[in-house]
Amino acid sequence: MRLEREIGLLLRRSRAISARLAGELHPDLDGAAYGLLSLLRDTGPLRASDLVARLGLDKSTVSRQVAHLVDLGLVDRTADPVDGRAQVLTPSEEGAARLARIRDVRRARWESDLSDWPSSDVATLADLLRRLNHLGEAREAEVGDDGCAR
């Protein structure tokens, strides 16, 4: 199916881009670290176990990435205000600043790349993707927490 192939291509390119952006955060970081910092910025503070669930990566990969980001001073560990024995993760001031710089550059590229497109095409693509995403959400709502279809 042609649509499936184009979506696959988009996903592969996006992974390659994440890897490159991670290198801009710090030369030692990989694509998973970029995704992790990004998620903490958008939805943090989070516990490490929340990251495992949301990123779909195994616990040891997430622990290693978190330790690395903490060592580099890009992520802070603090006591969970809800449960003082647990720890939550947030981007450090430096981590948030580096991420913001990268996002600004990305957004400017997007805008420049799409400046040649008729605005109606950009709107149509956004609309169709929104409908596609809603299809996916509707399907996921049919699947219970145990992963079984109802």
Position among 25, 35, 69, 99 found at the interface with its own copies (CB under 8 A)? 35
Binding part of the chain for its own copies, among 70-78, 79-87, 91-99, 114-122 by CB under 8 A, reads 114-122
Residue showing tokens 């992963």: 147
- Residue 69: exposure state from Cβ atoms within 10 A (0-12, 13-18, ≥19): buried
Q: Which residues have a Cβ under 8 Å from the Cβ of 48 and sit 6 or more positions away?
A: 59, 62, 63, 66, 87, 89
CA distance 91 to 78: 11
x-or-dash string of contact with its own copies, 118-147, rule CB under 8 A: ---xxxxxx-xxxxxx-xxx-xx------x
For binding to its own copies (CB under 8 A), which residues are involved? 1-4, 6-7, 9-11, 13-20, 22-23, 30-32, 35, 54-58, 60-61, 64, 107, 109-111, 113-114, 117, 121-126, 128-133, 135-137, 139-140, 147
